[in-house]
Amino acid sequence: MPLPSPRQPASLPVLIAGGGPVGLTLAALLAEQGVASLVIEADEGYCTGSRAICMSRRSQEILGWVGADRPLVAKGLPWVGGRSYFRNSEVLHFLMPSEPSERFAPMVNIQQYYIEQYAHEAMQRRADLCEVRWSTKVAAVRQSAEGVEVDIDMADGKRETLRAAWLVACDGGRSTVREQLGLQLQGMQYDGRYVIVDIEQETRREVERLAWFDPPSNPGSTILMHRQPDNVWRIDYQIRDDEDPVEAVKPENVLPRVQSHLEMIGETAPWEPLWISIYNAKCLTLNSYRHNRVLFAGDAAHLVPIFGVRGLNSGLDDAANLAWKLAFVLQGRASDSLLDSYSVERVHATRENLAYGAKSTEFMAPPDFGFKLMREAALRLAIEDEHVRPLVNPRQSTPIRYLGSPLNVPAQDDAFSGGAQAGDTAPEAVMQAVGGAGHLTRYFGRDFVALYFSERTSLPEQLARLPVEAIRIARDGHPDSKTLVDHLGQAWKRYDAHEGTLYLIRPDGYVLGRWREPNWPDVTAAVAPYRANPEPLAAHRRASTTETR
């Protein structure tokens, strides 16, 4: 299907309201799928102020599908663990699962405006298919069975009407699109307030997540610290319930508290504040992210507490889930009911994220006296008892499993004793490929991939006929254009593979189904809802798997 230019607004395939990190990443991912989009952004450029800093491994992988991982890894500060202190004592030193051969660190700290910049640069590399209109606001939305009509207000005061087949609302927590559709986020918000301060100060401290409960520098408070690139510290501290939030963010009240804490931890270099703001945690979501031809993603769809770092990370997962589904529908490769699964999977993910976020928030800022007593008891005990320490361990962002997804193919799961089930993200492994060693996840992110574990050098004929990219995973031998060699044995182990085991991986890196030994009519039926890509995959594949990291 020839794709219209985004500069022909009358025939846009996808209009994206909001050019924050989620909207920009979605546009870049759609372009990677060959789909044109136009992003309408109210501001004149990238965000400012204290926003997201902790980007998960999964987010790095998603950004990697559009080449935005390279600048992110070059600029960001990777970390694998953290420490918690109760008064003067260290009560926890945690490490997230990680090993040197991983493609990405479990977490990278970087300011949100860099993520927006890298996603926008990825869009600019596909300028034939996507663009952003800055300083332009979505003002009104009307939809019909065929598409949407969107009024946009431009900086010069003029109004224009755009038409598109699909509108994706990525316009943040105060979404105009949500308001236009008469929808409301459901849930609750916490009363506890946190002051968020970014300061510039040189430091040689290791990059890790640092938390203090009731520290001598600020008795009764909880303080979190994260290093960011450009010699910036993020400092979050809880204010007392009886403190006036307007007074609390005044520099004369903030700076002495920060100074006292920096002194306590021995950070003596000169410093200056960059941003001061106030935050309270919210647990809110729409009940559905699809409303006919309007789809919701990122903060427009859900607001999760910052403790647990799942806001932007989950927004990028929304974009990853939606991009291939929208592309398949627009390219006639799947029916539009595929988009219902976007809502099912991502609303489920939000509910999980909200549960984790709520637990983290209740630990960071206990909502009542009972929670406070329990937390203090756990922290006291954790000083002496390592069995209590998991109770004070923060829950880090991990990909949500879609085990109940309507897309999953329940294929012979009981024949496996390990590996990844349908609805899990496909495990990573270091492989030998033509051109050198590389990671298996580099092959995900665009189309369906079949991983066929076999020592036999030729692929079965039935596999070659499927509308997927088929890759043979051999234990040894030489790699070729269709064969990766599992020289470290990681893939066979992590996929619990035997001779002939087959996994089908979705374009967003999730397992669709798996077979101990493929029953070809079942495998063919599993991919029947998804027709072949009109564009050959080989031309697209990120050419070699030689590592940059």
Ligand X SMILES: Cc1cc2nc3c(=O)[nH]c(=O)nc-3n(C[C@H](O)[C@H](O)[C@H](O)COP(=O)(O)OP(=O)(O)OC[C@H]3O[C@@H](n4cnc5c(N)ncnc54)[C@H](O)[C@@H]3O)c2cc1C
What residues make contact with ligand X under the rule CB under 6 A? 17-23, 40-43, 47, 50-54, 112, 137-138, 170-173, 176, 196, 279, 298-299, 306, 309-313, 315
Alpha helices, H only, 331-423: 338-364, 369-384
CB of 177 to ligand X, least distance (A): 7
Question: Minimum distance from CB of 83 to ligand X (Å)?
Answer: 18
Cβ proximity to ligand X, 117 vs 454, nearer residue: 117
- Residue 336 half-sphere exposure toward CB, CA atoms < 13 A: 12
Cβ 147 to ligand X, closest distance in Å?
Answer: 18
What is the Cα–Cα distance from 312 to 478, expressed in whole angstroms?
40
CB nearer to ligand X: give 47 or 344: 47
Which residue, 121 or 336, has its beta carbon nearer to ligand X?
121
**Shortest spacing between CB 281 and ligand X, in angstroms:** 10
CA 220/CA 239 separation, integer angstroms: 9
Question: From the CB of 313, what's the least distance to ligand X, in Å?
Answer: 4
Q: Which is nearer to ligand X, 288 or 524 (CB)?
A: 288
Nearest to ligand X of 76, 172 (CB atom): 172
Site of tokens 């069975």: 145
**Between 53 and 429, CB nearer to ligand X:** 53
How far apart CA 444 and CA 431 sit, in angstroms, is: 14
Amino acid type, 181: L
Closer Cβ to ligand X, 221 or 483, answer by number: 221
Helix (H) or strand (E) holding 278: strand 271-285
CB of 17 or CB of 512, closer to ligand X = 17
> Exposed/middle/buried for 328, CB within 10 Å: 0-12, 13-18, 19+?
buried
- Token reading at 523: 């495998």
Q: How far is the CB of 212 from ligand X (least distance, A)?
A: 18
Burial class (CB in 10 A: 0-12, 13-18, 19+), 44: exposed
Please choose, from the candidates 289, 307, 277, 97, the residue with its C-alpha nearest in 3D space to the C-alpha of residue 195. Answer: 277
Q: What CA–CA distance (Å, rounded) separates 160 from 528? A: 41
Structure-block tokens of residue 198: 């970014």
CB of 290 to ligand X, least distance (A): 17
Q: Which residues contact 217 (CB under 8 A, 6 or more apart)?
A: 223, 257, 260, 261, 263, 264, 265
What DSSP designation does 59 have?
H
Identify which of residues 42 and 329 has a Cβ nearer to ligand X in the complex. Answer: 42
CB of 194 to ligand X, least distance (A): 8
Residue whose Cβ sits closest to ligand X:
20
Output the smallest distance, CB 167 to ligand X, in A. 11
Q: Which amino acid is at 106?
A: P
Q: CA Rg, the chain, in Å?
A: 24
